[in-house]
Structure 1
Amino acid sequence: MLGEIGRGSTAVVHLAMDAAGREVAVKEILPEFAAEAEGRRRLAREIAVQSRIRSPYVARLLDGDVAAERPYLVMAHVPGTPLNDLVAAYGPFRGDRLLRLARRLALGLAAVHDAGVLHRDLAPGNVIVLGDRPTLIDFGIAHGAGADQITRRGMVVGTPAYLAPELIEGEPATAASDVFSWAATLACAATGRPPYGRGSLHGTCFRILRGEHDLDGIAGPLAGLLPLGLRRDPAARPSARWFAGALAEGSGAVTERGGVVAA
Structure 2
Amino acid sequence: MAAVERLGEYRLLERIGVGGTAVVHLAVDSHGREVAVKELREELAGEPDAKRRLAREILAQGKVTSRYVARLLDGDVEGDRPYTVTQYVPGTTLRESVKAYGPLGGVPLTRFAREAAEGVAAIHAAGVVHRDLTPGNVMILGGSPVIIDFGIAYEARAGQETRPGILIGTPAYLAPELVEGEAVTAAADVFSWAATIAFAATGRPPFGTGSLHGVCFRILRGAVDLDGVAEPLASLLRLALRRDPDARPSAAWFAGELAQWSLEPMLARTG
**TM bucket by the smaller chain?**
over 0.9
Deviates further, 144-153 or 117-126: 144-153
Residues 161 and 182, structure 2, Cα contact 8 Å, conserved in 1: no
Matches within 5 A, 1:66-215: 66-215=77-226
TM-score by length of 1: 0.94
Of Structure 1 and Structure 2, which has the larger fraction of its residues in helix? 2
Residues 93 and 189, structure 1, Cα contact 8 Å, conserved in 2: yes
Paired position in structure 1 for 2:240: 229
Secondary structure of 1:16 counterpart: strand
Paired position in structure 1 for 2:28: 17
TM-score by length of 2: 0.91
Paired position in structure 2 for 1:261: none
Q: Aligned partners of 2:190 and 2:250: how far apart in 1?
A: 7
Matches within 5 A, 1:30-45: 30-45=41-56
- Partner amino acid for 2:188? S
Q: Aligned partners of 1:153 and 1:45: how far apart in 2?
A: 22
Q: Aligned partners of 1:186 and 1:151: how far apart in 2?
A: 24
CA 1:193/1:166 → structure 2, altered by over 3 Å: closer, same or farther?
A: same
How many residue pairs match? The answer is 253
Aligned-pair identity (%): 65
Q: Aligned partners of 1:223 and 1:166: how far apart in 2?
A: 22
Secondary structure of 1:146 counterpart: helix
2:34 is the alignment partner of 1:8: no
Q: Aligned partners of 1:239 and 1:189: how far apart in 2?
A: 20
Matches within 5 A, 1:48-67: 48-67=59-78
Paired position in structure 2 for 1:239: 250
Deviates further, 106-115 or 212-221: 212-221
Paired position in structure 1 for 2:3: none
Cα RMSD for the two superposed structures: 1.3
Residues 28 and 34, structure 2, Cα contact 8 Å, conserved in 1: yes
> Gapped runs of 5+ residues in structure 1?
254-263
Q: Deviations over 1:30-83 (max 9, x none)?
A: 121111111110110000111100000000000001101100110110112011
Paired position in structure 2 for 1:258: none
Larger Rg: 2
Residues 179 and 216, structure 2, Cα contact 8 Å, conserved in 1: yes
Residues 161 and 184, structure 2, Cα contact 8 Å, conserved in 1: no
Residues 104 and 201, structure 2, Cα contact 8 Å, conserved in 1: yes
> Gapped runs of 5+ residues in structure 2?
1-11, 265-271
Q: Deviations over 1:141-187 (max 9, x none)?
A: 00100214252211100000000001111102110000000000000
Q: Aligned partners of 1:83 and 1:106: how far apart in 2?
A: 15
Q: Deviations over 1:74-120 (max 9, x none)?
A: 01101120111111111110100001110000000000000000000
Residues 221 and 247, structure 1, Cα contact 8 Å, conserved in 2: no
| Superposition deviation, residue 6 in structure 1 | 0.3
